[in-house]
Amino acid sequence: MVWGLLPWFSLMIAGLVASVALLFWGYRSGQFADQERARYLPLRDEEPLQSRQKGGASVRAAYFLGGLVAALGIVFALALCVALNR
């Protein structure tokens, strides 16, 4: 009985791990540093692409985050397929 629920538990654990990893990534990259700034971003005249750094750490972080999302998507898909085929 418990072995039949294993794919659902693995899906739940993968979702929890993904959520915690993305939360820590956001905290470490400063996404939560200035909460007041976000409400004024649509009112600014400058282009958002001009404020980004070219190359360096921001590109590596974007590739890492994309790879993490892709890997977790594959894990979710596999766990869901196993769970639905039982």
Instruction: Please report which helix (H) or strand (E) contains residue 74, including its range.
Output: helix 57-84
Q: What is the pLDDT of residues 16-70, one digit of tens each?
A: 888 898 888 888 888 888 778 777 777 777 665 545 555 566 777 788 888 888 8
Give the range of the structural domain holding residue 5, as residue numbers without chain letter. 1-33+57-86
Based on the structure, what is the number of domains in the chain? 1
Query: Given this model, what pLDDT does residue 2 score?
Result: 66
State both tokens at 72: 């977790």
Residue 2 maps to a domain: yes
Query: Does a structural domain hold residue 23?
Result: yes
pLDDT of residue 55: 56
In a domain, residue 10? The reply is: yes
What is the pLDDT, as a whole number, of residue 44? 73
Burial class (CB in 10 A: 0-12, 13-18, 19+), 79: buried
Cα–chain center distance at 4:
28
Q: What does the pLDDT read at residue 52? A: 52
Whether 71 has a pLDDT exceeding 70, the answer reads yes
In a domain, 25, yes or no: yes
Instruction: Determine the distance from the C-alpha atom of residue 13 to the mean position of all C-alpha atoms in its chain, rounded to a whole number.
Output: 15
| Closest to 79 (Cα-Cα) out of 4, 8, 16, 15 | 8
